[in-house]
Amino acid sequence: MNKKCRGGRKTLDQWLSSRWSLRVLSLGVALLVWFFVAWDHQAQGHRTLRLPVEVVNLPEGTVFSVEEKWVEARFLGDVESLADLERERPQCTLDAKGLSVGSHRLPVRVPIPKGVRTVSLSPKTLKLTLERHLERRLAVRVERGEDFPEGARIHSFRVVPQEVVIRGAERDVLAVDLARVVVHAEDLKTKKRAFDVDLVTRATKGKLLRPVEVEPRSVRLTLVVSADRRSLRCPLRIPIVGAPERDYHVEGVSISPDQVLVEGPPALMEGMKELVLDPLDITGLKGDLVLDLPIKPPFPEVAIIGAQHAQVRVTLERKVNQRTLANILLRVEGESPVRQWVPTPERVSVTLEGSPSALAHVDEENPLVEAYVDVSNVVTPRIVLPVLVRNRREDLRILRVEPPRVQLQGQLP
């Protein structure tokens, strides 16, 4: 037994010391190193990241809103690349290049490094809304809080600056009715001077639902409060002079604010029912009109508290009139040489619809329309056909034809 063991060990020693054994061992070690290196660099993994959304190539003069500010993305790739991706936290992008004002649904794009691919995005598309950017100036209005001392009156005040500039999406900026500061009883006790400016809209009966930039954010207010004056809210009215262009009529006139706070001696305030703005001449007006007009006190002793200007909006609507031409000769088109056609009746009435200026060019001698029947390919000697009308003006519309159908009798020449 010992001889066999010594013989086997001798054989193993001879094999290990041979040239072929060294080659086999070297090849085995090389394969082990190669497998280790290859496994280390090709290890795959998943990673889920919550990435912010960024809008790129935004058209000039617009602002945007996105329905979601974050996107959940799932990636697959080698472990090292996924670690770099998590560390860099790339932003998802929505490309707004060349888009117009309105709502658009765009694909979400995520820049990823080599060795990584996107498995899923939630959501894959986002709704992007583009709106025009608007800037507007508003006078700062001073209002008393609900806890303002009873019997106290704001005799005079000074606001610095008197106006603020608001910026934002067109819809939000136009929704603002007024900029105000509210004075409370505690403000009088502490002699507060700096007041934050609030933006108010009637649509929401309070502050705006979406933020609008205000500059400056606060104003300085100096008040003189006394008890010998009476205050009341007076509605505003504006006299309209003249008439718009003949194709339009006034649909409505609105004033914002529609009432203001005025203060003055009780004797003058008792008979004050409204404040009348300067007359507005709309002679020849062809479109909606928006103006800022000063609010003037009716007496030197009366003071306007708050807004010193009112925005007046005149809305026009296009007139649409009708005119009936009752004696239009009916023409027959498409006649063949072997048969002549006689319509019954030979004349029809055509009712047109359009603006007054367009209808002014229409009369019995110059009807601007042609009534006809087409007998092309008619083989029967008697037939009832619809009356067709050829309109020569694009701004006129054919409303109806009486009768709408006529009978035709074919006659041999």
Q: If you write DSSP's letter for every residue of 266-303 in order, what string do you get?
A: HHHHTT---EEPPPEE-TT--S-EEEEEE---SSTT-E
pLDDT for the residue 80: 77
DSSP letters along 294-359, please? E---SSTT-EEES-SEEEEEEEEEE--EEEEEEEEEEEEES-BTTBEEEEESSEEEEEEEE-HHHH
CA distance 305 to 308: 8
Apex CA 53: angle with CA 49 and CA 59, to 5°?
160
CA-CA distance, 34 to 20, in Å (whole number)?
21
Locate 375 and state its tokens. Answer: 């007998």
Can you tell me the distance from the alpha carbon of 132 to that of 102, in angstroms, rounded to the nearest whole number?
Answer: 9
- The pTM (predicted TM-score) of the whole model is 0.39
Instruction: Report, in this order, helix, strand and coil percent for the chain, each rounded to 5.
Output: 15, 50, 30
Residue 44 has a pLDDT of 75
- Residue 32: per-residue pLDDT: 65
- Dist. CA 44–CA 116, nearest whole Å: 10
- What domains lie within the chain, and their CATH numbers? 44-123 (2.170.120.30), 133-228 (2.170.120.40), 230-318 (2.170.120.40), 321-411 (2.170.120.30)
pLDDT truncated to tens, each residue of the chain (413 aa)? 454 455 555 565 665 566 666 666 676 666 665 555 444 445 677 888 888 888 888 888 888 888 888 888 888 887 777 777 777 788 888 888 888 888 889 898 888 877 787 778 888 888 988 888 888 888 888 888 888 776 566 777 888 888 899 888 888 888 888 888 888 888 877 888 888 888 887 665 555 556 788 888 888 888 777 666 778 889 999 999 998 988 888 989 999 999 999 988 777 888 888 999 999 999 988 888 898 999 998 888 788 888 889 999 999 988 888 888 888 889 888 877 777 888 989 899 999 888 888 888 787 777 788 899 988 888 788 889 999 998 888 888 888 999 999 998 887 76
Which residue has 């006659």 as its token pair?
411
The DSSP 8-state label assigned to residue 377 in this structure reads: T
